[in-house]
Amino acid sequence: MSQEQCGPGDHDPGQRRALDGVRVLDLTHQVAGPSATLMLAYLGAEVVKVIAPGSRDSYDAIAFYLNNASKKSIELDLKSGPGVATARELAKRADIFVENFSPGVIERLGLGWDVLSGLNPRLIYAQVKGFAADSPWGAFPCFDPIAQGFAGASGITGEPDGLPMKPGPDVGDTGTGMVLVGGILAALYQRERDGRGQRVEIAMTDQVATFMRIHFGWPIERHMDTPRFGNRPPFLVTTAPSDIYPCPPFGPSDYVHIHCGSDRQWERMATLMNREDLLGDERFATMVSRGEHKAEVDAAVRGWTATLDKIAAMKALGDAGVPAGALRSTTEVLADEDMRERGIFVTVDDPGRGPVTLPGYPVRMSRSPARVTPPPQPGQHTAEVLRDWLGEGWPGEGWPGEGRPGEEQATTKGQVIRNAPRPPASSRP
């Protein structure tokens, strides 16, 4: 795929995106916050990421690269008075402000909700924290593994007799950012009706807890902790086959995951394996009885999967109407030509790295293709953004350099900020 994430012939690359004209001031870092602003950028918003002058290390890290595509970058020294003043002026002209500093930092910088909402009553002010601000743990720092453990996800992950284990995907980080986008867009839509912005808050621990929705069925219905199931489904009643089964050449990722969720699917499975003899056996007549004789069912299934590679097994099962999927490594998934053709992975031409393939936006919109472009270089858009947002006179005299507007400058700069034009309301969301 090219830098425009869309299927061949599906979209006109020049057409408007869903969030064209929406301005986002991005003061996020790490993963949770940048995941939210990344989705907004993919949807067409102008996302301006603020970084400290000379902050190169995080830009060179691949984790940063994967979370900051399609954004612009400006340098501001938020530890200086002029830098904070500039950030406030940008916030006056923003539609959305997003931050995920440690608890209390954004307020100490003078960029808290009370300040910015007073300057811009239409602002959607979004925050990501590890723990809810009004919880007993609100002042504590947090990362994804902490959130997943505290919210119960690690407690239900792993083998039944093994240790709790953090789930592999960044449910606490990326999951929180993506859920936050829903709240941001709802607030933006509400602003269309009443003209008022609002504060939108999410805690990683709260998001993970609600993400596990069906897993609370155990304590609700059975008054007991949800067990760890390994690769089996978290059902109140065990069934089979429902697990991963090895396939040749029996490497670390050579498995197929099979789940027969009904008696009819089991009948199809047994027929596919040429094991119709199992269908007349009372031990395998129902989902419950198959769960009670899981070892025997799994042995039969493993005998069949040992004859097919994982893709061939998946195809045979899918064609027969049995839910199944090959277990793939990240390298295999990244190389999937079908996913690339559909824009799930997008190759961009980066001036420093060359062609790089990035995860794209998984939702396909018939009139609004996602926009995927390379992440910016540090401060790449400083002069452009300051002039576009704050007026043609910006940055003016007194700056030590257009790439470092957060450093000390002449006092006349404040007049330039105050007199900077704001686009008419009719042209903004």
Give the integer Cα–Cα distance in Å for 341 and 388.
35
What is each CA distance from 69 to 133, 172, 337, 338, 377, in whole angstroms? 29, 20, 21, 22, 11
In degrees and rounded to multiples of 5, residue 373 shows phi and psi of -130, 165
SS3 46: strand
Q: Which amino acid is at 196?
A: R
C-alpha 26/C-alpha 35 separation (Å) is: 11
Q: Whole-angstrom Cα distance, residue 306 to residue 303?
A: 5
* Identified catalytic residue from 77, 144, 173, 243: 173
Buried b / exposed e along 159-177 (16+ C-beta atoms within 10 A): eeeeeebbbeebbbbbbbb
- In angstroms, the CA 181 to CA 176 distance is 9
The answer to whether residues 204 and 172 touch, using CB atoms and an 8 Å cutoff, is yes
CA distance 146 to 211: 15
CA–CA dist 134, 143 (Å, integer): 18
Rounded to the nearest 10°, the torsion over CA 61, 64, 65, 70 is -160
Provide the 8-state DSSP code for 135.
S
What 3-state DSSP class applies to 131? coil
* Amino acid present at 376: P
Three-state secondary-structure class, residue 47: strand
Phi-psi region of 413 (alpha: psi -120 to 50; beta: other; left: phi over 0): alpha
Q: Is 319 a catalytic residue?
A: no
Q: Quote the distance between the C-alpha of residue 400 and its chain's center.
A: 37
- Please calculate the CA angle 311-317-319 and round it to the nearest 5 degrees: 100
Catalytic positions, written as ranges:
173
